[in-house]
Amino acid sequence: MDFIKQYIDNNKQRFLDELFGLIRIPSISSEAAHKPDMYKAAEYWKKSMLEAGADKAEVFETEGNPIVYGEKIIDKKLPTVLVYGHMDVMPVDPIELWNNPPFEPVVKDGLILARGADDDKGQSFMHAKAFELLVKTGKLPCNVKFLIEGEEEIGSTHLYQFCKDHKDMLKADVFIVSDTEMIEEDIPAITAGLRGLAYWEIEVTGPNKDLHSGIYGGAVANPINVLCKMIADVQDENGHITIPGFYDDVVIASTRERKLMRKAPYDEKTYKEAIDVKALKGEKGYTTNERTWIRPSFDVCGIYGGYTGEGSKTVLPSKATAKISCRLVPNQDNHKISKLVKKYFEKIAPRYVKVKVTEMHGGMAYLCPIDLPAYKAAERAFNKVYGKEPIPVRSGGSIPIIAGFESILGVKSILMGFGLGSDNIHSPNENYPVNNFYKGIETIANFYLEYAKDAKK
Amino acid sequence: MDFIKQYIDNNKQRFLDELFGLIRIPSISSEAAHKPDMYKAAEYWKKSMLEAGADKAEVFETEGNPIVYGEKIIDKKLPTVLVYGHMDVMPVDPIELWNNPPFEPVVKDGLILARGADDDKGQSFMHAKAFELLVKTGKLPCNVKFLIEGEEEIGSTHLYQFCKDHKDMLKADVFIVSDTEMIEEDIPAITAGLRGLAYWEIEVTGPNKDLHSGIYGGAVANPINVLCKMIADVQDENGHITIPGFYDDVVIASTRERKLMRKAPYDEKTYKEAIDVKALKGEKGYTTNERTWIRPSFDVCGIYGGYTGEGSKTVLPSKATAKISCRLVPNQDNHKISKLVKKYFEKIAPRYVKVKVTEMHGGMAYLCPIDLPAYKAAERAFNKVYGKEPIPVRSGGSIPIIAGFESILGVKSILMGFGLGSDNIHSPNENYPVNNFYKGIETIANFYLEYAKDAKK
């Protein structure tokens, strides 16, 4: 057994206990009531960094949630790897669908069950432990920095400015991030591309109060009906988004690229069965993977208006609200799209209602060339642990700050994720295989060795 | 001062205090938690009937909410008037928009402020007091029956069977009901027609759990988007309902009828300002009054799905639900329409989602000929109190059981309402002018005298 495996084996339970301590803090970034929990999570991370061997660690205040930075500089001439992760998690509703309280982690059937078990507490904490392993065994081959934020799930709002304000401190040769998925438990992947995001809240106001639907129904525009119509009109029967200019900047993937993508394993039957749908629905002319990897999407993430309680209430409501998001693809500027869509909804708003569009968070798409030395090092590390080369894939998900790191700090990120499609991230019963947690630590430790070896050449 | 005015004047404060006692009971019929309150309200009514002079009064159990019946039979040869009203009220949400706690009635600027102040506690309780007045002054000229139910706002579900089971007990020459509006505070109206109602809950299920909108967005149908499209497609650009067969049974109002209707006062500017909309929206080819009186409507009363909390959450939700109602017009059978619409939504449901349509409550429309002797008696009573003839109007609202009384018991109802358009029924800050309460009692007492006079001829 090599020293990496040995160290993990000797510390298995403690690693898990420490992760559980982090998970128990309900650090939901989108709910103001959990603000104190963000600070608890930040202090937990600071302590973890120091105990793992960082020279220093600090909790930085922002106008939003705190950011934790830590570092160990062993030799300024050696390359520097920066670990990025996030300590905030998604809300837990609908809470009634959880089989286990979301902030009381347990291991059951080999799975860690909890909100944040995967996204991103489980995945980011592997880095703390891989770092500890190399420090304590005296094998750390390069400088390491940690950047852990508390607003990833709400758009990394204050991290952009933080990066601008701390360019020197965050200087690194490469960023490494574990916040993505493998293809299967034994098929590793490196995510070479991410979609971007734009998000809006659209509020349609009709009458100034809820009206009796008998007295007024038929004579006064119903804001729910109007909102539904506005949403329905955004996509045509082929699944194309009809907003003028929406596709203008999209880089069309080449025929060769699309051919390579089709090599990624995909089984429609399994895919449909896993989510229990009889048929898939997407943009005409594209495969399922293409629809989520290289094409933008338009999804209503939430809608509400009028009477939503038990039973029935006949009412012509005053307001209806939708939370809408678009996933964007390389070269679509999220700010431009955000304004385009806002203006579009304001323009098509009929006279008989008031429409208010609020631009929420967003981010650019990202691409990582697969011949980057750091990418190659990650490839070798995966190969060593899993016995096979990781497949370069793209992800439909967004980690907008990854594009930000590139534009602000000029550094590429390597997305070496250990999550599985069955981890229910963002959903009830989020989980993370405990095996992936340990193998992730092993792979990350190997990455440092491979990356430093490469850098010496 | 005649004896009616005198009696009211002598008992003003007590009448109000007694009404407030009824209002303080939060008898919301659509919320199961308020079931005990329905019994409290029933007992309150029973006591009120007996104290007012009923020979007997009884609370009947049903499989739903209780029904209160009371009677005073003075002479079997005399005509019998049955008073119908309801003791249940609508939910109070959005509670934050109330200026006053909804179940703590107060009088402010001449208005009784509370849920149920008008609909229908304030209006129905006038009948108890008009009855008391005639009994206590020895002037009651006919037999009187009371039928007070607890499910009007949720479709009078169990009252239909109750009527079938108690045909003899409920035998009457005419029903009188106060649950409608005047035109203005000094312009009385008798409602000669009511729209019917059908109500559905439509649940669209996509994936079996909330999905990450990045990983799946664009490849899996979003149930909110699908629901919006289904709703949007139900009406064309002219406001016509596109469901095949929907208008088949509608009785087209004659040109003469439509001419008469246009005599009802209507000022578009005032109408729009009262509800703060810049423009009205309805079916092409009809006036505002026609749209709410003689044409069916299609309104989404409530919609919800996905993330509806604070801030943003990127999610491709599993479910979306809409509560939908149609107001119906004479000759549209609500059961037929209910099935028609259910089948339509099930038929247009795309393969990539599951659509479940639940038929909720409903009721037929109603028409009352304006030459009916009881109508004429009400006309004279209003004339006496207000110094002008009431205008025969139709109402866009539904009191489905009114059509039920006709079909089951063969009795027409006279809808002599004292509410105002500004009473905010079904909305926050429901109110009822205290003056209307007293004038209503006066008009109702006069109705009995006029009606019995007429019946003797």
Which residues of A fall within a CB distance of 8 Å from B261? none
- Give A6-58 pLDDT, tens digit per residue: 999 999 999 999 999 999 999 999 999 999 999 999 999 999 999 999 999 99
Would the pLDDT of A457 be above 60? no
Average model confidence (pLDDT) across chain B:
94
Q: Mapping DSSP to helix (H, G, I), strand (E, B) and coil, where does residue B116 land?
A: coil
Say whether B278 and A352 touch across the interface (CB within 8 A).
Answer: yes
Residue A288, judged by CB atoms within 10 A of its CB (0-12, 13-18, 19+), counts as: middle
Which residues of A fall within a CB distance of 8 Å from B298? 225
> In this complex, how many residue pairs, one in chain A and one in chain B, have their CB atoms less than 8 Å apart?
361
Question: How far does A4 lie from chain B, in Å, by closest CA?
Answer: 33
**Of A239-248, A249-258, A432-441, B246-255, which range is least confident?**
A249-258
DSSP B286-330: --HHHHHHTS-EEEEEEEEEE--SSS---EE-SEEEEEEEEEE-T
Question: How far does B233 lie from chain A, in Å, by closest CA?
Answer: 8
Question: How far does A456 lie from chain B, in Å, by closest CA?
Answer: 37
- Give B363-374 pLDDT, tens digit per residue: 889 988 888 999
- Sequence letter at residue A134: L
To probe the interface with A, which of B290, B312, B425 has the most A CB atoms within 10 Å?
Answer: B312
**CB A94, CB B317: distance < 8 Å:** no
**CB A329, CB A295: distance < 8 Å:** yes
Which residues of B fall within a CB distance of 8 Å from A300? 222, 224-225, 228, 305-306
Average model confidence (pLDDT) across chain A:
94
Question: How far does B240 lie from chain A, in Å, by closest CA?
Answer: 10
Q: Mapping DSSP to helix (H, G, I), strand (E, B) and coil, where does residue B393 land?
A: strand
Cα–Cα distance for residue pair A456/A142, rounded to 1 Å = 10
The pairing of strands B319-328 and B297-306 is antiparallel
Say whether A222 and B300 touch across the interface (CB within 8 A).
Answer: yes
**Of A42-51, A78-87, A357-366, B352-361, which range is least confident?**
A357-366
* Complete domains list, chain A, with CATH: 3-194+365-456 (3.40.630.10), 196-250+296-361 (3.30.70.360)
Pick A228's closest partner by Cβ from B300, B315, B398: B300
Would the pLDDT of B26 be above 70? yes
Say whether A276 and B427 touch across the interface (CB within 8 A).
Answer: no
Question: How far does A166 lie from chain B, in Å, by closest CA?
Answer: 28
Q: At a CB cut-off of 8 Å and minimum separation 6, what does A239 contact? A: A281, A282, A283, A284, B218
- Give A114-169 pLDDT, tens digit per residue: 999 999 999 999 999 999 999 999 999 999 999 999 999 998 999 999 999 999 99
The pairing of strands B319-328 and B196-205 is antiparallel
Say whether B224 and A303 touch across the interface (CB within 8 A).
Answer: yes
Q: Mapping DSSP to helix (H, G, I), strand (E, B) and coil, where does residue A250 land?
A: coil
Higher-pLDDT residue of B346, B398:
B346
Pick B352's closest partner by Cβ from A93, A228, A279: A279
Say whether B427 and A299 touch across the interface (CB within 8 A).
Answer: no
For B38, the token pair is: 């329905």
Would the pLDDT of B389 be above 90? no
- Count the neighbouring beta carbons within 10 Å of the beta carbon of residue B159: 25
Say whether B224 and A302 touch across the interface (CB within 8 A).
Answer: yes
B212 touches chain A (CB under 8 A): yes
Cα–Cα distance for residue pair B268/A301, rounded to 1 Å = 38
Which residues of B fall within a CB distance of 8 Å from A225? 231-232, 235, 298-300
State which residue of chain B sits closest to A311, comparing Cα positions. Answer: B30
Please report, to the nearest 10 degrees, the dihedral formed by the alpha carbons of residues A264, A269, A273, A276 taken in order. Answer: 110
Q: How confident is the model at residue A106 (pLDDT cuts 50, 70, 90)?
A: very high
Q: How confident is the model at residue A456 (pLDDT cuts 50, 70, 90)?
A: low
Report which of B268, B330, B345, B324 is spatially closest to residue B295, judged by C-alpha positions.
Answer: B330
Instruction: Please calculate the CA angle A204-A210-A213 and round it to the nearest 5 degrees.
Output: 105
- Give A317-344 pLDDT, tens digit per residue: 999 999 999 999 988 999 999 999 999 9
**CB A294, CB A195: distance < 8 Å:** no
**CB B113, CB B105: distance < 8 Å:** yes
Say whether A218 and B398 touch across the interface (CB within 8 A).
Answer: no
Residue B252, judged by CB atoms within 10 A of its CB (0-12, 13-18, 19+), counts as: exposed
Cα–Cα distance for residue pair A328/A364, rounded to 1 Å = 7
- Count the neighbouring beta carbons within 10 Å of the beta carbon of residue A141: 19
Would the pLDDT of A434 be above 80? yes
The reported pLDDT for the residue numbered A40 is: 98
The reported pLDDT for the residue numbered B252 is: 81
Dump strand ranges (E) for B173-267: 174-177, 189-194, 196-205, 211-212
Mean pLDDT, residues B207-214? 94
Would the pLDDT of B383 be above 70? yes
Give CA separation, A322 vs A19, A95, B274, B304, in Å: 36, 21, 26, 9
- Give B273-324 pLDDT, tens digit per residue: 999 999 999 999 999 999 999 899 999 999 999 999 989 989 999 999 999 9
Over pLDDT 90: what percentage of chain A? Answer: 84
Pick A231's closest partner by Cβ from B197, B228, B361: B228
Mean pLDDT, residues A168-179? 97
Cα–Cα distance for residue pair A197/B48, rounded to 1 Å = 63
For A28, the token pair is: 């939901």
The reported pLDDT for the residue numbered B113 is: 98
B299 touches chain A (CB under 8 A): yes
Would the pLDDT of B436 be above 60? yes
Which residues of B fall within a CB distance of 8 Å from A201? 312
Cα–Cα distance for residue pair A174/B32, rounded to 1 Å = 59
State which residue of chain B sits closest to A360, comparing Cα positions. Answer: B312
Pick A396's closest partner by Cβ from B197, B214, B280: B214
Say whether A275 and B93 touch across the interface (CB within 8 A).
Answer: no
For A5, the token pair is: 């495996």
B255 touches chain A (CB under 8 A): no
Cα Rg of chain B, angstroms = 23
Pick B310's closest partner by Cβ from A31, A209, A301: A31
Would the pLDDT of A260 be above 70? no
Name the maximum alpha-carbon separation found in chain A: 81
To probe the interface with A, which of B89, B213, B399 has the most A CB atoms within 10 Å?
Answer: B213
- Sequence letter at residue B382: F
User: Which residues is A173 bridged to in the sheet?
Assistant: none
CB < 8 Å from B in window 355-414 of A? 360-361, 395-398
A197 touches chain B (CB under 8 A): yes
Report which of A342, A353, A360, A348 is spatially closest to residue A320, judged by C-alpha positions.
Answer: A353
Would the pLDDT of B457 be above 60? no
Say whether B218 and A90 touch across the interface (CB within 8 A).
Answer: no
CB < 8 Å from B in window 308-337 of A? 308-317, 320-323, 325, 327
State which residue of chain B sits closest to A425, comparing Cα positions. Answer: B212
For B17, the token pair is: 């205090």
- Sequence letter at residue B358: T
A208 touches chain B (CB under 8 A): yes
Say whether B301 and A312 touch across the interface (CB within 8 A).
Answer: yes
The reported pLDDT for the residue numbered A393 is: 85
**CB A299, CB B217: distance < 8 Å:** yes
Residues in chain A: 457
Asked if this assembly's ipTM is beyond 0.85, the reply is no
**CB B297, CB B291: distance < 8 Å:** yes
Say whether A323 and B312 touch across the interface (CB within 8 A).
Answer: yes
State which residue of chain A sits closest to B400, comparing Cα positions. Answer: A214
The pairing of strands B189-194 and B366-367 is antiparallel
The pairing of strands B391-395 and B354-363 is unpaired
**CB A368, CB A417: distance < 8 Å:** no
The reported pLDDT for the residue numbered A258 is: 78
Q: At a CB cut-off of 8 Å and minimum separation 6, what does B187 contact? A: B265, B386, B388, B391
Say whether A304 and B303 touch across the interface (CB within 8 A).
Answer: yes
The reported pLDDT for the residue numbered A382 is: 97
- Give B108-166 pLDDT, tens digit per residue: 999 999 999 999 999 999 999 999 999 999 999 999 999 999 999 998 999 999 999 99
- Give B72-97 pLDDT, tens digit per residue: 999 999 999 999 999 999 999 999 99
Which residues of B fall within a CB distance of 8 Å from A222? 299-300
The reported pLDDT for the residue numbered B192 is: 85
Give CA separation, A175 vs A73, A155, A374, A406, A414, in Å: 15, 19, 9, 10, 6
**Of A103-107, A364-368, B141-145, which range is least confident?**
A364-368
State which residue of chain A sits closest to B421, comparing Cα positions. Answer: A215
Place of tokens 């035109």: B183
A110 touches chain B (CB under 8 A): no
**CB B85, CB B405: distance < 8 Å:** no
Higher-pLDDT residue of B260, A438:
A438
Mean pLDDT, residues B381-389? 95
